[in-house]
Structures are given as C-alpha cells and as structure tokens.
Structure 1
Amino acid sequence: MSSAGRGSMLAQPLQRPSAGRVAALFALVVLGALVGLAGTLVQAGWFPGGLLLALAGAAGLFLGGSRATGSRSGAVAPAFGWVVAVIFLTAGRPEGDFLFGAGGGSYLFLLGGMALAVICATLGLERQPRADGARLGK
C-alpha cells in the first residue's frame, strides 16, 4: 500500500516505543547532562575557545542524537538533559559557591545552547521517497 493512501502521519495511531528506543533516549538524556556539565566547566576556562568548543559539543550531540534515532526525539532527549544540568549548575550553593560567573560568556553559553537545542530539534529530517513509487537514479 502506498503512503498516499494511508493519510498523513498525524492521522496514524500512536505506536508504543520499543524498549531499545526508550533505552537509547534515556542514554541520550544522560549524555546531554554530561555534555552540559563538561561545557559548563570548559566554557569559562578557555574563553572564547572553550565557549565555542562547549557549544559545538552540544550541537553535535543534539544533531547526532537526531540522526541516530531518525527522529526529532533524538535531539529533544539530550537537549532536555543538557538544559536540566545547566540550569541545576547555575544555582548557587548556600556557601556561596557557583560554577557560572556573571560574565557575557556564561550568558552566551546558556542562550546559545538553548538556541542550538531548538534549532537541532526543529531541523527537519529529510524524508526519502519509497523505492517502489519513485524513479530513483533515472
């Protein structure tokens, strides 16, 4: 049956995700938190190169997760872990310790990382035509 006869993707019934997919998304959440932690430490240490390295690592994880899972949830899962870790690390402790300074680099890391998460999550994956209905290579 061709995809045109089934209706849009939104009209299809929801399917339960497999255990492997759930495990992969959970691993991406944990990786997102680790990249957020590493980026927090690196971005202030080697400014501006550390900031660019931290943002490139976050973008690579978001986009790589999306490509690996073949869906937008692969970008949303590490972005969620990243945001939770970074927001958690911005809070000061009662002793007065904190990881983020009040400099512009910290704000660029926060806002730039969130912008990259949104960009990678909304970046459309290209849909390939099915081989039976398309004339590939001609």
Structure 2
Amino acid sequence: MNDRTTSLLAQPMRPPSAGRLGAYAGLFVLGALVGAAGALVQPGWFPGGLLLALAGEAGAVLGAARLMRSRAGGAAAAAGWMLAVILLTASRPEGDFLFAAGSGSYLFLLGGILVAVICATLTPGRQPDGAPARLAK
C-alpha cells in the first residue's frame, strides 16, 4: 500500500451527523410508504399493478442508495419497505386481511425482497477522494 492509502485507512471513523441520520430515517419512512402503496396497488391491476409496485420499490431503494452515495441509504429504504409489508401481512382478529393467498401476493413479497437486495447492493461503495479509478496496489 502507498502512503496515501495507509493514511486514509488509519483515520478514525466519524459518527454520522444528525442530518445524515435524519436522512436515513426519512428514507426508512419513504420505503414504508412505498411498501404500503405497493400492497394496495398490486392486487388491483394484476399483473400491471404488481410490476408497478415492484418498479416503485426498485426506484425508491436504488434512488435512496444513489442519493446517500452508500449502500446504507438503499438498506434504510428496503428496511422500511420490508417492515411495512410484513406488518400488512398479518391478519386482524376480525378476519380482515390485506394480502390474499394468491400468486400475486407471493410474487410481491418474494419479488420485493429480491428487488430490494439487488437494488441496495448495486450502488458502488464509497471510495476515498481522488481519481474515480480503483485504488493502486
């Protein structure tokens, strides 16, 4: 390793700022809203609603990751989506439910998890300031 790489690796980690934590919380709420909207849209216009719900989730997660320039932004939006969808799958004591036992619901749940993982990991990791090329050996 060269001197510049060694000095960058030796720097202590700074805790995230309050603004950055607030942005992550906002992205979590955005993911939850996208999950709730997708849960309502996907059974209405099958298969178009399913594709629209998954595209909305992909846009939210990938956009969050690109906005924050880190995978953590995408993970925050994906976590909000998953929490909302899991809470909406539970049936109530009165027998009311939002997700019917059908192929569309299962595709939304499993496809949404797959889309969240793919989009959250597509964003490249942060590199130290400098040239956009890979670090030298």
Taking structure 2 as the reference length, the TM-score comes to 0.86
CA 1:26 to 1:104, structure 2 compared with 1: closer, same or farther past 3 Å?
same
Q: Which runs of 5+ in 1 are unaligned?
A: none
Aligned to 2:121: 122
Instruction: Say whether 1:104 aligns with 2:100.
Output: no
Q: Is the 8 A contact 2:69 2:123 kept in 1?
A: no
Residues 6-44 of structure 1 show CA distances to partners (whole Å, capped at 9, x for unaligned) of 365xx6532110111011100000010000000000000
Aligned to 1:6, what secondary structure does the other structure show?
Answer: helix
Find the aligned partners of 2:16 and 2:8 in 1 and give their Cα distance: 21
Q: What's the % identity of the aligned pairs?
A: 62
Partner of 1:26: 25
Whole-angstrom CA distance in 1 between matches of 2:13 and 2:97: 44
TM-score (norm 1): 0.86
Report Cα offsets for 1:57-110 as digits up to 9, x if no partner: 000000000000000011000111100000000000001000001110100000
Structure 2 gap ranges (5+): none
1:51 aligns with 2:50: yes
List aligned pairs for 1:63-78, cutoff 5 A: 63-78=62-77
- Structure 1 segments (4+ residues) deviating >2 Å: 1-8, 11-14, 126-129
Moved more, 91-100 or 118-127: 118-127
C-alpha RMSD of the superposition: 2.3
Q: Report if the CA contact (8 A) 2:8-2:128 is conserved.
A: no
**How many angstroms apart in 2 are the aligned matches of 1:106 and 1:33?**
17
Structure-2 separation of matches of 1:123 and 1:27: 21
Aligned residues: 131
Match of residue 5 from structure 1: 6
Report deviation, 1:4: 2.2
SS in 1 for 2:14: coil
* Structure 1 residues 28 and 2, CA gap change in structure 2 (3 angstroms): farther
CA distance, structure 1, for counterparts of residue 41 and residue 113 of structure 2: 17
Measure the CA separation in 1 of the matches of 2:123 and 2:11: 19
